[in-house]
Amino acid sequence: MDDHGEQRPPDGGVRPEILASWRRSESLGIGTEGAALPVEDDLDPDSRLVRAAAPVLDRLCERFAGLPVTVALADARANLVDRRGDPAGLELMDAASLVPGANVDERYMGTSSVSMVLSTRAPFVVVGEEHFLHNLKELTCMAAPVRDPVGGTVLGAVNLSVPKELAEPGMALALQDATDRIAERLLDLSAARERNLMSSFLRARERGGHARLHLGSGELAPLGAAPPRLAGAERLALLESAIDLIAAPSGDDGGRAFAEVPLAGGRVATLRRRELRHGDAEGAAVEVSFADTGTTGGGDGGGGRTVGAAAATAPDGRAVPLLHRAAVGGPAEPDTPTGAGEPGEAAGADAASGTDAPGDPTDAWLLLVGEPGVGRLAAEARGRLSLLNEAGVRVGTTLDMRRTAQELAEIAVPRFADLVVVDLVEGALAGEEPPASPLGPGAVLRRVAAWPDEDARDAGGARGARGAGAEGAAFVDGTVTHPPGTPQARCLATGRPVTDSVVTDALTGPEAAAGHPVDLLGEGVHSYLGAPLCSRGAVLGLAGFYRRGRNRPYEHDDLTLAGELAARTAISLDNARHYSREHQASLTLQRSLLPRDTPRLTAADLAFRYLPADATAGVGGDWFDAIPLSGMRVALVVGDVAGHGLQAAATMGRLRTAVRTLAAMDLPPEEVLTHLDDLVSRTSDDPATGATCLYAVYDPVSCRCTAARAGHPPPALLTPGGRARLLDLPAGPPLGVGDLGPYESVGVDLPEGSLLALWTDGLLKEIRGYGGTDTEARTALFLASLTGPEPSLERICDRVTGALLPDGPHDDVALLLARVRALPEDRVASWELPSDPAVVARARELTHHQLARWGLAELDFSTGLVVSELVTNAVRYGGRGPIGLRLLRDGSLFCEVSDRSNTSPRIRRAATTEEGGRGLFLVARFTRSWGARFTPGGKVVWAEQVPHGGPPAAEPDEQTLLSMYDDLA
């Protein structure tokens, strides 16, 4: 009690499940000083559970004679049906209203051992202060479930109470042993009930001439007729149908009385159910008759004859033949009338209940005798196997984690649950490695599936469960955490399936509401089963199964089934996680091999479309590129590698890198392709063998485009006001196919505003693979889609792909459009100078005046220095002939010096004693980039500077210039 008289949970090391139970009890408004327990007056004092438990409880009390021990028996609804033990302990129970018939569920009594057992379906001990009621805090109460030995259903619980100072661990072991003996006695009582049913059946038979059906051998043994033969599959089908009939509810409320099983050769087996009673035992017998649906009799004896004319109307309106009654006085009783469970042979006779028309006595055979409950267990066991088999087929059909979780939820509803939710670890959804150890309380999960049954979907929950609309956000894609003590937290911590009861009235606070989908469950008490999704020692998440109400609580067999379902799903989820991670990694790698965006160029405006045939992979073997070159030129490249997927993308990336390296050397197009071909030809099995490539260079100063191709389709050209056409380029061989001749380039003058289209052959394909495409018609359609006034390159791309690929690509497609521009004349200045050392000063003067006209005075000193060094080198090493000096201005300032030599300058480290060798070093320090390119008449050495837009920088003095060489000392 606190200072205000309110209940407080006990301090220090209290189990989370106890604290959670306390919170639920408080939210339900249960008083701690005493609880008003409801009492049921019409309990059966001679029920099967009471009769089985009575002698066992007597022996348990005798074992602890002399100790203040009380023993109580509760049924599955938490009603006390029996109690015994120390008189003082019984008086304490009376004071706490724990009388026979009292309901000790958590909803009425708060935290107690019996309520925890019936909720968790496992043994539980509540010690002293852990009790919610004050008058029980001096006791230690230990309880264990009583299970049906056939189906594993929890039929009740046995509670042993003792003062907490006298409690010993051996008492819990004795209690567990007692519940095991009660289960054994329940099995004996069940066997006795079935024996009584069989005896009643044999004593009351009215018909003679019945025979036994030997399911083990497949032989039918009627009197006076040759037995028909049954195949193994037919025997199994008959037995399963008989189990279903016995498991069906009896009476007039829709219970099945007939069944038909088609057999080989046009025969039909008709099964009929007869109800049996002996005392309080109720059961059923199933008999079988055979008919031939053909017009002629069968050749297998009695099995081929049709049944007599007497018939009955089945619930679905079909006419079902009746089994025929014979005269009293039949054959001797069968050798082993052991009842329903023996598939090897069944007893032969008829039941007293029911009336039949007279007929041939050899037309009917007894197939199976048993209790409906046992039949239901068999049917449920077969249903569980069927569910597991179906889960193996339907769960994990894709490599998508969310879809796999949804498949688990869909297959479990309504056969195993009324509602299923699946929560996954946040990091696992992103492909990260899940935690190897069990998850602790408070771990953040994301709800990826919530699938209710038809009742909830009809009420509007379907939209939420499917994640659509405003309601979907309340159920799917939200994050959830499970506080300590909740069944979800226990499941994640132990790594084993757990079951519990969910009282929606006791769920308070946002965390509790987020843990259970209260809106989909509705009010009341529901059964919950949580199964961890574990794979390869890692926890991926949690699957939660719900059954509304308390009529069908989850039992031990359900825990096993849920664990198997979760294990199979977890393997599929982990496979999907691995795929997602590897796919994302490969996709990131592949996309990094392509340009993320087109560069901003002086020479042209660009637009592109990249459409891989495999949309999930995102990248194929086609590629394109736009590479800025010196002198404001641009290289346009398109290539195609055979195949699709990661191998083709990796090969594409290798070729693209090689092309960019060769382009940086300022080689002409034909030499770029020659070097690329040589690179591919070095390895005989190079996957790049057979790849195609188109390489074009456009110069905005001369407005000339020079292009060469290696087995690639030629580019299309649309001049202003004209019609699109394909350029006539020599078709060089594909890369790496052998020495089939040198590559040739062709130069074409392009008017400003011309549209150049580079493309791959996937743009023309109508089907996958080779052939089946009218290339000429498709090419004409391509050129027509390019033609027409349209200022937007993006809309032209859409127009082309819409005309040629309305249903998507059948092969990888790359399309690169370039609308070329010309550099205005006022941005170009060029001079031809004689090869004379005295011309260096003249070159600096020309440069100074031109920069002043352009308003680039801030670059005057650095540009003058660069011009001096480059012109000096041209005079010294450029051979005879004039020297060209050209300045190009746009976003950058290019300074170019040309001469007649074909030797390439190289920067080097000059020794401290050398007077020369530092000119190119100065050029590199004062410019952003520099280089050299070869021309038919010699070479061009260029340097690029970027204006900074500020006032001119102070000219460095001699000491500053010398300090630049300190690192070379």
Q: For 751-790, write each residue's pLDDT tens digit.
A: 999 999 999 988 988 765 444 567 888 999 999 999 888 8
For the chain, domain boundaries: 16-189, 233-291+363-386, 395-460+472-584, 612-820, 826-967
**Contact (CB, 8 A) for 408 and 543:** yes
- Six-digit token pair at 190? 């069940």
- Which of 39-48, 183-192, 907-916 has the weakest average pLDDT? 907-916
Average the pLDDT over 815-821 and give the result.
95
The pLDDT score that the predictor gives to residue 316 is 41
pLDDT at 493 (0 to 100): 87
Amino acid letter for position 697: V
- 407-446 burial, b at 16+ Cβ within 10 Å, e below that, comes to bbbebbbeebbbbbbbbbbeebbebeebbeeebebebebb
Q: What is the pLDDT of residues 913-930, one digit of tens each?
A: 555 567 788 888 888 999
Spatial strand order in the sheet of 124-127: 80-85, 70-75, 154-163, 139-147, 124-127
In Å, what is the CA distance from 36 to each residue of 74, 99, 128, 685?
A: 18, 12, 21, 86
Given a cut of 50, whether residue 747 has pLDDT beyond it is yes
Which top CATH class is 16-189? alpha beta
Q: In angstroms, rounded to a whole number, what is the distance separating the alpha carbons of residues 714 and 693? A: 10
Of 158, 118, 165, give the one whose Cα is nearest residue 21. 118
**CA–CA separation, 893 and 110 (whole Å):** 85
CB 351 within 8 A of CB 325: no
pLDDT at residue 567, as a whole number: 92
Name the least confident of 113-122, 283-292, 489-498, 613-622: 613-622
* The two three-digit tokens of residue 3, written as one number: 């200072």
The mean per-residue pLDDT over the stretch 195-218 comes to: 49
Q: What is the mean pLDDT of the chain?
A: 78
Read out DSSP for 135-192?
Answer: GGTTEEEEEEEEE-TTT--EEEEEEEEEETTT--HHHHHHHHHHHHHHHHHHHHHHHH
Quick check: 963 pLDDT over 60? no
Q: CATH number of the domain at 395-460+472-584, please? A: 3.30.450.40
Q: Which two tokens stand for residue 664?
A: 């940086």
Contact status, residue 579 vs residue 613, Cβ threshold 8 Å: no
Report whether pLDDT(486) > 50. Answer: yes
- For the ranges 230-234, 400-404, 883-887, which has the lowest average pLDDT? 230-234
pLDDT, one tens digit per residue, over 319-351 is 444 443 333 333 333 333 333 333 333 333 333
Task: Tell me what percent of the residues of the chain surpass a pLDDT of 90.
Answer: 30
Burial call 547-576: b when 16+ CB within 10 Å, e when fewer = bbebeebbbbebbebbbbbbebbbbbbbeb
Question: pLDDT per residue over 610-645, tens digit each?
Answer: 888 766 656 677 889 999 999 999 999 999 988 776
Crossing angle of helices 169-203 and 48-63, in 10° steps, is: 150
Band of residue 461 on the pLDDT scale cut at 50, 70, 90:
very low
pTM here? Answer: 0.61
Q: How far apart are CA 315 and CA 594, in angstroms?
A: 69
- Which tokens sit at 850? 């031109």
Phi and psi at 689, nearest 5°, equal -60, 130
What local confidence, expressed as pLDDT, does residue 346 receive? Answer: 34
Q: What is the pLDDT of residue 903?
A: 83
pLDDT the model gives residue 509: 53
- Fold classification of 826-967 (topology level): Heat Shock Protein 90 (3.30.565)
pLDDT score, position 146: 92
The rounded percent of the chain whose pLDDT value lies above 70 is 75
Contact call for residues 666 and 932 (beta carbons, < 8 A):
yes
Classify the C-alpha dihedral 659-663-667-668 as positive or negative. positive
Fold match between domain 16-189 and domain 395-460+472-584: yes
Q: Is 197 left (phi over 0), alpha (psi -120 to 50) or beta?
A: alpha
pLDDT recorded at residue 662: 93
pLDDT at 714: 95
Burial group, residue 956, by CB count within 10 angstroms (0-12, 13-18, 19+):
middle
pLDDT of residue 785: 92
Banded model confidence at residue 531, pLDDT cuts 50, 70, 90: very high
Q: In whole angstroms, give the CA distance from residue 132 to residue 128.
A: 9
What is the edge-to-edge ordering of all strands in the sheet holding 267-278?
A: 219-221, 211-214, 365-370, 281-292, 267-278, 258-262
Q: Residue range 422-438: average pLDDT?
A: 83
354: left (phi over 0), alpha (psi -120 to 50) or beta: left
Output 910 or 206, whichever has higher pLDDT: 910
Residue 221 predicted with pLDDT over 50: no
Tokens representing residue 78 in the block = 């938490």
**275 burial level (CB within 10 Å; 0-12, 13-18, 19+):** middle
Tokens of 588: 């990131």
* Dihedral sign from CA coordinates of 594, 597, 599, 605: positive
CATH of domain 612-820: 3.60.40.10
H-helix or E-strand spanning residue 802: helix 793-804
Between residues 241 and 445, which one has the greater pLDDT?
445
pLDDT interval class at 312 (50, 70, 90): very low
Q: Give the pLDDT confidence score for residue 584 in this predicted structure.
A: 78
pLDDT at residue 279, rounded to an integer: 61
CA nearest to 743, candidates 647, 811, 665, 674: 674
Between 225 and 51, the higher pLDDT residue = 51
Spatial distance between the Cα atoms of 903 and 878, rounded to a whole number of angstroms = 8
**540 pLDDT above the threshold of 80:** yes
